Structure 1
């Protein structure tokens, strides 16, 4: 059986050798090569092998700096927690304290409107007797109109809370959760690819990079 070998590009070369050292084989020794590449232009922080070293499958070859990836993971995880919490709240419906809060807001707005309308009626009576100016009457009228708007907004909020979350809103939040999960999973894969391991038992052929070097990122190539 032909020994397997790898060609790891970071650029980093491995030549794998799986033959039994106790067996003597005559003929030409051939090597299979597998090309691997860096997926991120991040500096190398650790190299765990040296040229000529035999490594087993899964052995750590080198690591690249993961600060940026870790930060992106933290943001993605926080976003996922946020939308999951939002979905849970929507499914559970309004809490009792939310219902009490919107009801109290409506009560305050209703009381404010009654006071404003009473003041406006008093102002109209005074204006008819010439006891207040037109500007003061305009102010009282504007105050009453604002109170009507605030009561309408308070009632709309109360109706929304009491009605619960609509089906389409739940669907949108579920989609947001799925998107956040997909993004987090992708970032976890990217973070894992900053740790480069030997896919098969191999021998290190050359190590052209050193700690601190930044390999160019590229798409993984097919084995050659």
Structure 2
């Protein structure tokens, strides 16, 4: 499976990238996957040029392809003016223009960092609506990390819970695709229409169980 992490942190080192790395490690520990990190800071110039020319540069095109082909996505942004950063939004604007269905049905874990806990509602007021509009499946638990959360109780538990939800959705989708391919070529069944070695739980049932 492929797990892509989109980090919109601007500083080096970045608390946004730190949170992204922790979420990726926790997810990959539950659902083994090839992890690719997309640092939007490195793509800022190409994103701006894309708006002017309509064509992505090679690095931006590679990042857009990686996001579109991912089995799961982790997105992390710093909070600017009580919302996601302009760079973060611009990247997904470019993705949406290129392919409006690029995130359709894709499991996405949303996360954000900020200087104060007062901005934690950015997850539900900004990030969740954005990815719902892009037709993604947003995991129930979002992760917000304020400055005081680092090293405190609560953040590790939220990271683990969100990662578990994303891993479950990624695993369910991967298994579903494998079953579909087996049915198409006639393999993977015992002749009775049932899978020989495992039971595939439909994606909708997994999502309902997580939300319940």
TM-score bucket of the superposed structures, by smaller chain: under 0.3
Larger Rg: 1
**Structure with the larger RCO, 1 or 2 (CA within 8 Å, 6+ apart):** 1
TM-score by length of 2: 0.22
User: Which structure features the higher share of strand residues?
Assistant: 2
